[in-house]
Structure 1
Amino acid sequence: MTHTLKVTAFLATVAQVMMGDAFAQQLKPQPWPTTLPTVEVPVFEKDTISIVQFGAISDGITLNTNSINKAIEECSNKGGGVVVIPRGTWLTGPIELKSNVNLHLKSDALLTFTADKSQYKLVETNWEGLAAVRNQSPISGTNLVNVAITGKGIIDGNGQAWRMVKRDKQTDSQWKKLLASGGVVSEDKKSWYPSEAALKASKIKNAGVIAPGKTLKDYEEIKDFLRPNLLVLTKCDKILLEGVTFQNSPAWNLHPLMSQNITIRNLTVRNPWYGQNGDGLDLESCKNVLVENSSFDVGDDGICIKSGRDEQGRKRAMPTENVIVRNCVVYSAHGGFVIGSEMSGGARNIYVSDCTFIGTDIGLRFKTTRGRGGVVENIFIKNINMKDIPGEAILFDMYYAAIDPVALAGEKRDAPKVVLLPVTEETPQFKNIYISNVVADGAEKAIFVRGLPEMNIHSLFLENMTLRAKKGVEIEEAKNLYFKNIHVIAEDTRPVVNIARSSALTFDGLKYNQGAEVLFNITGETSSNINVVNTKTADAKTPAEFGTDVNKKKALKISK
């Protein structure tokens, strides 16, 4: 397999800009690369066997774990082929996939996983980028080659047996029904847990994270709390997920980990919108991936790129790279397309196009925090539609705080304190990111960019956008940003663009509400070299306001 990327000119431009901050050296947008990654797709033998041949019974009562696993194992041992799950309701415990096997669900096949937690053994795995003990995933596989799940059936993880639920995310009727189902409520009455053991374990910091000298047995008393991801494929090559509906996962839904040559297409991925940690797809330290023609309606991030957390992620040193995402729809989710926050191994060479986000908390979401390290670079995104976004249409934030992206009613959140720290291997970076052709019809904020004082977000290109939002653009601790043909239709125009402690910014062809109160508000003594061209600044009542610590001559240049 070959992989070629024509980004040489892109990187050369970035290198030139980093040599200085003169207005003449501002960055210019780059074209969409003409050569994209290639992904190898698995091929299977035509031999087909049914789980019924191994004693499986479709009555929703019989536990078919052994029958399904025996069918998969025998198929693999004979050289591979297709294991068929016929129409009907099939109850099962954990399924372990094998090399050269395509697990195929017929139309009207419902594969549902038991709520009996004793069926799931504790295993050493990975959780949120760290080595951890969790319950065995309903579907898993490690070190496999040529593996697939295909068809038109439904895979249900029975997640309600595992998840906690927040009171604020339920109506009164839903909450009463949940309490009547059993389980226990936290002391502050704000959360429901399916068991007393799960509630007790929730109070333990880093519960499940592997500690030196401990064995699996040491985690038995918090077993109820250690929710598994629905599907985990670790260190596998040539994966195909196609056509199936994956839903109701205990934690994350789909989690390829340290795998390559992954094809994901025509999937429906669903979780309750309130499902805690209910991500749709998390690609972690994977390479050569195609995700297309799929829909996500979930309880956390929709399509997410990860690569390990903090020191463990940096030591793993496996970026997620060479990824194509196209023609996907994301409904309920914390973010439509997301990178982070566990991105310590880096992310690069990622191409997202022709996607739609409807009702997603944040549209394009890039998140990290101090301690992660890692570099996110060479990201190309184009042709994105958004509608009714409760938070930011486009967000870059290096102060991620592991809280819901949209504050609940009455919830107060304070901005982080800005402190300059030394740059170390723990300092993350976002750079060389190009986003074009975006329409957002309704958002709380059009664009939010917040870097660190010691590591600004830099080399960011935004081009050809129409963004309708309550608030406009906010930029803090950023450098070498280029905005071209951006139309911001904001309800709050004081200001349209708020800039703090940022430099080397270009606004080329900025459009906004005629009669806006303030076009630019510029604060911070490091704010400088802001270039505005092809923009009718006179259409604003006040073209620019400046903080007392800003050198106006060095801060802003307006050209016709």
Structure 2
Amino acid sequence: MDFQISAVFKRSITIELLNDTICYAPSEYSILINGEEKLKTDLNVVTVDGLKPDTEYTITLLTENGKTEKIFNTEYESVLLDVKAFGASGDGETDDTAFIQAAINSCPDDGTVYLSKGVYLSRPLFLKSRMTFWVDDEAVLLGDTDRKHYPLLPGLTPTTDEKDEYNLSSWEGNPETSFASLITAVNAEELEIVGKGIIDGNGDKGDWWTDPKIKRIAWRPNTVFLNHCRHVRMQSLTVRNSPCWTIHPYYTDDIALYNLNIWNPSDSPNTDGFDPESCDGVLILGTRISVGDDCVAIKSGKYYMSDKHHKPADHFIIRNSFLERGHGSVTVGSEAAAGVKNVEVSRCIFKETDRGLRIKTRRGRGPNAVYDNIVFRDIIMDHVHMPFTFNMFYFCDPDGHSEYVQDQGARPVDDKTPLIGSVTAENIVAKGADQCMLVAYGLPERFIERIVFKNIKVSFLPKEARKPGQTIMMDDFPEMTGKSIYARNVKHLVVENVEISDCDDSGPELIDVLDYDSLNIAYNS
């Protein structure tokens, strides 16, 4: 069994097994560092910490069939700054913000700011370039609950020459003033946020989740907000109890998550796990996300941002990760007016989410709102109510229920009409489906271009265990249960080697699907 070194940090390393299994190895194996066993596991992606900076190591993967070794060097570290040396108490009651921020501001290039065992109550902290922020095991960074203690990040500020505008914040795809997040970075590069500790947004305390759609002073903060950053890596941390979206990279390129654990209560409002917005180069590896809304939601802003600050979401890889509970496992849109392309999700487990692959858009997103080359392969879905939903009538925003958005008759194609291009799903097993395997509803004036399903096996819950539900969020669309495929306004639908068990259908329901010559579905009772 072989492996690859996915990421090397100052004091840790993440590896990924090179196999064709999903999330788990075929059998347990050991990881040794310089001949000393560090852990036993059966996970495909693991992190080993407790290393020294700027040191050569030999890492060995040991199985019952033999061993594989590789040599690596940890990163250089210029200095380690313990926040307690700057006055932080870590007692969970004292406001440690100023002391931690003093350590951050004092940190030189390639330095590390270190939080040792303790609970550090803090207001928003601002990280900077070429530093590591290390929250060690048994350390908790705990967010202040009083919104009056949070700085504001203005959505738009005119530049001095009045020729441009400076964008510091975002709320649901628009440049709206929001509170700074517990961890905030603006225009930072070569930033690392690591450790086996906890970053707790404390959203379950205070009033963050009360009337969540009402703006009070400013819009709710994220727990981690990365604005116009480059080369950001996060590893091993638990990030939980977010006031709103948990980790929100915004116009940030080259960001990677390794073995993170992102958790929010299932009833917490708008607490998406990871919402990259207008980002290029995103990797999620070995990460577990269990939240109150979408686990991963890929976005690129609403119409204004696409028009004035156009940047599509591009080059996404999600692999060997666990996406649980929440509304969608991986969602594209709906605030994606600048488009989303080149997304590959593979070797993941989706568990007990409402939807598996969830694509959503609507009239008004504009001509750049093109979703294309989205590929899902080698996925296990466990009790996902609706494995696949493609919705071009999503009823979000104040005008979401308007006739313009919800009219199911054809309207003229104009500069506000979005497009769903090519979407492929292959080698997927879904057990315990409930409402419908696939709902794909394109606009009558702009059909979904191409949907390809290959090697899919779906089994439904027994009839007595199912509950009719709203499969896609649009007006005047019936609830469903036990239904296989509903496709409407689709140019090309390719279905090869698809097996559906224990549904109520004997065939798909296709309305205005122009080409479906390769329809190959086996229905089993």
Structure 1 outlier segments of 4+, above 6 Å? none
> How many angstroms apart in 2 are the aligned matches of 1:301 and 1:44?
37
* Structure 1 contact 471–496 (Cα < 8 Å) conserved: no
Gaps of 5+ in 2: 1-73, 155-168, 398-404, 461-481
Q: Quickly say closer, same or farther: Cα 1:163–1:283, change in 2 above 3 A.
A: farther
**Per-residue Cα deviation, 1:172-192 (whole angstroms, up to 9, x for no partner):** xxxxxxxxxxxxxxxxxxxxx
SS at structure 1 position matched to 2:510: strand
| Correspondence for 1:467 among 444, 458, 465 | 458
Larger radius of gyration, structure 1 or 2? 1
Aligned residues of 1:308 and 1:316 also touching (Cα < 8 A): no
Task: Specify whether residues 110 and 486 from structure 1 end up closer, same or farther in structure 2 by C-alpha distance, changes over 3 A only.
Answer: same
Q: For 1:276 and 1:402, how far apart are their aligned partners in 2?
A: 15
Determine the structure 1 residue equivalent to 2:515.
Answer: 504
Give, as a single letter, the amino acid of the residue that structure 1 aligns with 2:185: G
Offset at 1:269?
Answer: 0.2
Report the CA distance between 1:474 and its aligned residue.
Answer: 0.5
Q: Verify the 8 A CA contact 2:372 2:420 in the aligned structure 1.
A: yes
How far is the alpha carbon of 1:164 from its aligned partner? 6.3
Flag the 1:316–1:506 CA change in 2: closer, same or farther, 3 A.
farther
Secondary structure of the structure 2 residue equivalent to 1:53: helix
d(CA) in 2 for partners of 1:324 and 1:293?
Answer: 12
Instruction: Specify the alignment match of 2:230 in structure 1.
Output: 237
Structure 2 residue identity aligned to 1:385: I
- For residue 66 of structure 1, give the secondary structure of its aligned residue in structure 2: helix
Q: 2:81 matched to which residue of 1?
A: 49
In 2: Cα distance, 1:502 partner to 1:508 partner: 12
Is the alpha carbon distance of 1:377 and 1:475 closer, same or farther for their aligned partners in structure 2, counting shifts above 3 Å?
same
Displacement of 1:457:
0.7
Alignment match, 2:501: 489
Q: Which residue of 2 aligns with 1:104?
A: 134
The corresponding residue for 1:438 is: 428
Distance 1:57 1:164 in 2: 26
Q: Which residue of 1 aligns with 2:171?
A: 127
Looking at structure 2, the residues matched to 496 and 302 of structure 1 have their Cα atoms a distance apart, in angstroms, of: 31
Please report how far the alpha carbon of residue 155 of structure 1 lies from its aligned counterpart in structure 2 after TM superposition: 0.6
RMSD after superposition: 1.9
1:226 aligns with 2:238: no
Report sequence identity in percent. 32
* Offset from partner CA, 1:37-75 (integer Å, 9 cap, x none): xxxxx9663421100110000211110000111101111
Letter in 1 for 2:515: A
1:409-439, CA deviations, whole angstroms, 9 ceiling, x for partnerless residues? xxxxxx9541211111211111122211111
1-side partners of 2:284 and 2:349: how far apart? 14
Distance 1:306 1:49, change over 3 A: same
The equivalent of 1:476 in structure 2 is 488
In 1: Cα distance, 2:177 partner to 2:260 partner = 29
Q: Aligned to 2:439, which of 435, 444, 448?
A: 448
Q: Distance in 2 between matches of 1:497 and 1:120?
A: 52
Give the corresponding residue for 2:187: 143
Say yes or no: does 1:364 pair with 2:353.
no
Q: Is the 8 A contact 2:341 2:373 kept in 1?
A: yes
Distance 1:496 1:46, change over 3 A: farther
1:313-357 superposed Cα distances (whole Å, 9 cap, x missing partner): 243220110111101111111100110001101111111101111
Q: How does 1:19-58 map to 2 (within 5 A)?
A: 45-58=77-90
**Distance (whole Å) between structure 2 residues aligned to residue 362 and residue 508 of structure 1:** 23
Q: Does the CA-based 8 Å contact 2:203-2:242 persist in structure 1?
A: yes
* Offset of residue 160 of structure 1: 2.2
Higher RCO, Cα 8 Å, sep 6+: 1
Instruction: Give the Cα–Cα distance (whole angstroms) in 2 for the partners of residues 161 and 238 of structure 1.
Output: 33
Query: Gapped runs of 5+ residues in structure 1?
Result: 1-41, 166-192, 208-221, 404-414, 515-560
Match of 1:252, SS state, is coil
Indicate conservation of the 8 Å contact 1:163/1:251, yes or no: no
Superposed CA deviations along residues 355-376 of structure 1, whole A, max 9, x for unmatched, are 1111111011111111112101
Amino acid at match of 1:505: Y
The residue correspondences of 1:508-527 to structure 2 (distance < 5 A) are 508-513=519-524
Shift of 1:161: 3.6
Change (3 A) 1:365 1:43: farther
**2:103 maps to what in 1?**
71
Equivalent in 287, 290, 315 of residue 283 of structure 2: 290
Partner letter of residue 86 of structure 1? S
Equivalent residue for 1:84? Answer: 114
Shift of 1:293: 0.2
The TM-score with structure 2 as length reference comes to 0.75
Corresponding position of 2:148: 118
Q: CA deviation at 1:80?
A: 3.2
1:424 to 409, 414, 422: 414
Secondary structure of 1:155's partner?
Answer: strand
How far apart in 2 are the matches of 1:314 and 1:44? 42
Give 2:268's aligned residue. Answer: 275
Q: How does 1:246-261 map to 2 (within 5 A)?
A: 246-261=239-254
* Aligned counterparts of 1:507 and 1:79: Cα–Cα separation in 2: 57
Matches within 5 A, 1:236-385: 236-373=229-366, 374-385=369-380
CA distance in 1, matches of 2:421, 2:523: 27
Q: How many residues align?
A: 407
Distance 1:427 1:343, change over 3 A: same
Output the CA distance in 2 between the equivalents of 1:316 and 1:244: 32
Aligned-partner residue type, residue 471 of structure 1: K
Contact 1:163 1:276 in 2 (8 A): no
C-alpha deviations, 1:106-142, integer Å up to 9, x for none?
Answer: 1111110111222102221111110001111111011
Name the CA shift for 1:500/1:163 in 2 (closer, same or farther; >3 Å): farther
Partners of 2:427 and 2:302 in 1: CA distance: 32
- 1:490, distance to aligned residue in structure 2 (A): 3.9
Return the letter of the residue paired with 1:47. V
For residue 162 of structure 1, report the CA deviation from its aligned partner.
5.4
Is the 8 Å Cα contact of residues 395 and 406 (structure 2) preserved in structure 1? Answer: no
Corresponding residue SS for 2:101: helix
Cα distance in structure 1, aligned partners of 2:279 and 2:206 = 27
